[in-house]
Structure 1
Amino acid sequence: MLCYLRFLTYASCVFGFSVYGQVDFTSSNLPILVIDTHGQAILDDPKITADLGIIDNGPGQRNNMSDAFHGYVGKIGIELRGSTSQDFPKKPYGLELRDDAGEGVSASLLGMPAEEDWALVATYNDKSLLRDALAYKLGRDLGRYAARTRFCELVMKKDVVIEGVPAKENVYMGIYMLTEKIKRDKNRVDISKLDPEEISGDDLTGGYILKIDKYTGDSGTGFSSQIAPPNRSGNQSISFQYEYPEHDEIVSEQRQYIQTFIRNFETTLNGSTYQDETNGYAKYIDVNSFVDFLIINELSKNVDGYRLSTFMYKDKDSNGGKMVMGPVWDFNLAFGNADYCQGAPVSGWMYNFNSVCGDDGFLIPFWWKRLLADPNFRERLSLRWAELRAGVFSTSSIHRYIDSVANVLDDEAVGRNFTKWPVLGVKIWPNFYVGATYQQEVDWLKDWVRQRTSWLDANMPSVVTAIGDEAREKSFSLSAYPNPFTSELTLEYTVRNPCQVTLELFNSLGQRVALIEQDHVTPGTHLAVFNPAGMGAGVYYFKAGTSQDHSTVIRRIIKRHD
């Protein structure tokens, strides 16, 4: 059968979008994904069977529509994905690689580890095109799993008839981000497999993946928290969905186990002894993962953070067994891109979302404010932030990554994307900033990151009681001024009882760089002058302790260039 190929932009209700700008697409510096649905409509659920071919000639090589498929060629199941994003004309898709019999099959796509489930992210209302990629990169910089990503250009084939002869038209769809879907896998969420027959003992204790999110598609049923979210205006509750095992595969014993685990954790966290190191909340959760999850959601000021697209997982007790927050997911409205619920200003804490938008249908669990009331959690948060800011979360490091992605996308591919979807200079819900050019969008994002990190530097919790409670803290107080400082720092501390005072200075890597010990300190207020000779600019921590009641106080200080 003779087929004609025509290179033009075409739109149809079959694909669920309207006619936008036309693009004469023949080649790209990005990989090209070509999908043929054979005239079928792509639905939210179930997936339809289609064909996928990938043209990827390797780094630095040009990819032409006339080239043979060799990055991948085969069957896929494809469906619409996302919630609000489905309403945009540029649709996001979920992909499942399949064999000719329709069974799932794993394969490596664009150099990422082999798996069968993938997502094509449209980034329609993120005109920088890179907020999700940035968040996932920062997630990996935390030393945790976050989805790997590759940018590509997408073409859909449309069945047509030209002069009585069946033909295919190539429909240019724009720049997409191919990314791993969150899934239990040795290269993704690396937890134990949980089979239906594992219903007792250690077998029953993992692995599980849960999420807090909207119900879409075939997400099925889950269970609700027994503790209401704070500051709710109505009867809103927190709902957990079964991500793994899926809702139609998890058996009743497993449902009961993970529900009981979450409820025991929440009851403990909400109790009067929740800070107990042995039987408190830390018995149930990987505390450091909660610290990291908070940091990335606050750095990005993710308006969906903690309440939507929020994943957590638990392995078997024999493999640790504590609940881990993450992986991070869905940050297209983060980094100042939302004009509601204080999502755009560089100041403020997103964990206070309920206080700002308590009438929203999806609120934040009580967990985060409760954790931040614990001095030990605040100490971990402060030290972790300082460590990250000295390295992978430095403003310059984040800016370099943003520039590197923008350079990969380049003017040519970006130009095609915004010809197809002419949204530059147009407010698309819920944009706060509307740039006239792509470069303006990128520059604004970089400046927002600079201002946001500076605000966090100045407002990250800096006073904690590492040992003892708040009553003990009152028996010993410490202040440091001026802060920030350049040449000389004065430490002022007050003690109620005779004691020995130890003052230690740590850099952001946790290394001690100075020690001051003062014996036979009498009750009252005392001064110690610190001259930071040879000390580089950056964030430091003074840790002050007394021998009298073993209380410890930490102050964060900032050293500026001389």
Structure 2
Amino acid sequence: MQGTVRNIFWIGIVSLFIWTGCKEPLEVLIPKGDDGQVFAIDTQDSEIPYVVIDTRGASIPYEPGVQGQMKIYQEKKLIQTQLIDIEYRGKTSFRLSDKKAFNFETVDDAGEGEDVSILGLPEEEDWRLIGHVVNIPERYIWDRSLMFNHIAYELSNQIGKYASRGKFVEIEVNGEYMGVYYLCEKVKRDSKRIDIKSLNTSSTNLTGGYILKIDKADAGPEHDGKPLSYFLNNWDDDARYTAQNSFRSTYDILRNPITFPAFGSPYHPNLYLETYFMYEYPKAEDITDAQKSYIAGYLDDFETALLQDDFGAGERTYANYIDIGSFVDYFLINELGRNVDAYRISTFLVKDRDGKLAMGPVWDFNIGFDEGGRIPMDDWVINYNNYVNQDAWMMPFWWNRLMEDPIFREAVKSRWTSLRSSTLSNGNLQKLVSDTSKYLQDNKAVVRNYSKWEVNADRTYDQSILDLQNFLSQRANWMDTKIGTF
């Protein structure tokens, strides 16, 4: 006798009964949103938003993106539907991680960018979905706590320095549950993000605004449409600097004028000596020759002043070029987080019109805190070059030179002392981690994430939280001791 199927509906779930012959029926629970959307996993009564992305059969490329639909649910209730353009993102993390990250743009029916508020965040069109790195073949995870970026960005915002704001979500993509992600803002020029003046081809005031990056090179529009396999193996493009996408510091990491030509082949023998500044805003394809000349000259004037000033004689002309407070805050957040990618990659610099060069926002902590090696817990990240030999991306000379200035060290000391009695106190640091962990665990998101991505159970989630809290206390206490001598 053939089986029969009957459905019984409740809010947020379907109970599917299958009758087979004369046996008792089998009950299969199918999780659904209140609009009938079937979920890839049962989120139960979780308060953490659940994001369903459907590209309607199209494969997601690295670039350019493909259109899809995004639905956002909370406690299985649909709260937002939005057309998006989505693509993969990242460089090293994209190649190493089986849990891929995404860029997406909110678009209208015509496929044009549309400013939209997501989960209460200010309206914009460019967004990021960041997941922690999981490598299945080699059985390792970066950031088992799932919260490194959130902690760093939240601390920066709490001390008054903008960083990407975001929300924890769980996502599924084309029917596959992908786990816990951080849905956050793309760092870009916008009145609600990096609030600097616009700069276009008709601008006559060349002083700003600019956003630069010290980073691995970006694959340009010439790579649009290449297969995903290309981007999974394009390590050379990370070091492919050109006169179109960047300019080079006049000085090497050892503070000497560079005498060999810029824009050499990827990973040429002297690359480790160089620091390149990528054009982030205006984009490389939009920035004019006059704007390029101005901002390159401004950086050169700053670096020259920094090197030539006689601090002992009270010379600090470099301060005419930079917002010292932003440099101090950038240093403190990245050093507290032992972010080994800071200063030399994933590093933003901003210059507003008629303003000074500012550091930040902070970005990319996926191998920070207690995760990364290279820098011991009891040394500064700015001393990276003492531990790593001829990496393609070494530490620029700026930071050790700044630390030679007693006035800069005093600014660091004053700011650190103030923050340690408030935002960066041990109590606040511990509470931020425990509150975040409780939110993720109470809503069972950690269990669901690691039912998908567990590759090495030697270290539990609870242990990762204790390790993170211990690290923050130890690191902050060590910084107290070192900064106290400034």
Q: TM-score, normalised by structure 1?
A: 0.69
1:186 aligns with 2:195: no
Question: Counterpart of 1:398?
Answer: 429
> How far is 1:423 from its partner?
3.1
Alpha-carbon contact 1:274-1:280 (below 8 Å) kept:
no
**Residue aligning to 1:150:** 167
Which structure 2 segments of 5+ residues have no match?
A: 1-13, 15-27, 32-39, 134-141, 222-243, 257-268
Q: Secondary structure at the match of 1:369?
A: helix
Letter in 2 for 1:153: E
Q: How many residue pairs end up in the alignment? A: 407
What is the CA–CA distance in structure 2 between the aligned matches of 1:277 and 1:148, rounded to whole Å?
Answer: 40
1:85 aligns with 2:93: yes
Question: Structure 2 CA distance, aligned partners of 1:73 and 1:110?
Answer: 12
Distance 1:266 1:393 in 2: 31
The within-5 A match list for 1:17-28 is 23-25=41-43, 28=46
Asked if residue 230 in structure 1 is aligned to residue 254 in structure 2, the reply is yes
Cα distance in structure 1, aligned partners of 2:400 and 2:29:
55
Q: Which amino acid counterpart does residue 201 of structure 2 have in structure 1?
A: P
Could you tell me whether the CA contact under 8 Å between 2:309 and 2:315 is conserved in 1? no
Change beyond 3 A, Cα 1:462–1:394 = same
Greater shift in the superposed pair: 233-242 or 307-316: 233-242
Task: Select 1:414's aligned residue among 426, 437, 446.
Answer: 446
Q: Quickly say closer, same or farther: Cα 1:276–1:91, change in 2 above 3 A.
A: farther
State how 1:408-557 maps to structure 2 within 5 Å. Answer: 408-411=439-442, 412-425=444-457, 435=459, 437-460=460-483, 462-463=485-486
Contact 2:335 2:381 in 1 (8 A): yes
Q: Distance in 2 between matches of 1:24 and 1:400?
A: 29
Whether the aligned pair in 2 keeps the contact of 1:8 and 1:171 (CA below 8 Å) is: no
Using the TM superposition, give the Cα deviation of residue 257 of structure 1 relative to its aligned residue in structure 2, in angstroms.
1.0
CA distance in 2, matches of 1:461, 1:240: 33
| SS of corresponding position for 1:417 | helix
Cross-structure match for 1:299: 336
CA separation of 1:217 and 1:234: change in aligned 2, threshold 3 A = closer
Q: Which moved more, 1:171-180 or 1:234-243?
A: 234-243
Instruction: Provide the rounded CA distance (Å) in 2 between the counterparts of 1:425 and 1:364.
Output: 35
Larger Rg: 1
Q: Which amino acid aligns with 2:305?
A: T
Separation (CA, whole Å) in 1 of partners of 2:161 and 2:312 = 25
CA change 1:205–1:231 in 2 (3 A) is closer
Which AA in structure 2 matches 1:191?
I
Q: Which runs of 5+ in 1 are unaligned?
A: 10-21, 57-62, 158-169, 427-434, 464-562
Name the residue aligned to 2:181. Answer: 176
Q: Is the 8 A contact 1:275 1:281 kept in 2?
A: no
Q: Is the contact between residue 23 and residue 420 of structure 1 (CA under 8 Å) also seen in structure 2? A: no
Counterpart of 2:57?
Answer: 39
**Runs of 4+ with >6 A deviation:** 5-9, 274-279
Distance in 1, matches of 2:245 and 2:150, equals 30
Matched residues in 1 for 2:315 and 2:309: separation? 14
Identity %: 40
**With CA pairs under 8 Å and 6+ residues apart, which has the higher RCO, 1 or 2?**
2
For residue 81 of structure 2, what is the amino acid of its counterpart? V
Kindly indicate whether the alpha-carbon contact (under 8 Å) linking 2:339 and 2:381 is maintained by their aligned counterparts in 1: yes
The structure carrying a bigger helix percent of its residues is: 2
Give 1:301 shift: 1.1
Secondary structure at the aligned position of 1:205 is classed as coil
Kindly provide the amino acid, as one letter, of the partner of residue 50 in structure 1.
Answer: G
Residue aligning to 1:101 = 110
Checking the alignment, whether the CA contact within 8 Å between 1:230 and 1:354 is kept in structure 2 is: no
Cα contact 1:273–1:280 (8 A) shared by 2 = no
Question: When the two structures are superposed, what TM-score results if normalisation uses the length of structure 2?
Answer: 0.80
Equivalent position of 2:48 in the other structure: 30
In the alignment, the residues of structure 1 paired with residue 87 and residue 151 of structure 2 have an alpha-carbon distance, to the nearest angstrom, of: 25
Change (3 A) 1:422 1:194: same
Q: Secondary structure at the match of 1:123?
A: coil
Residue matched to 1:310 = 347
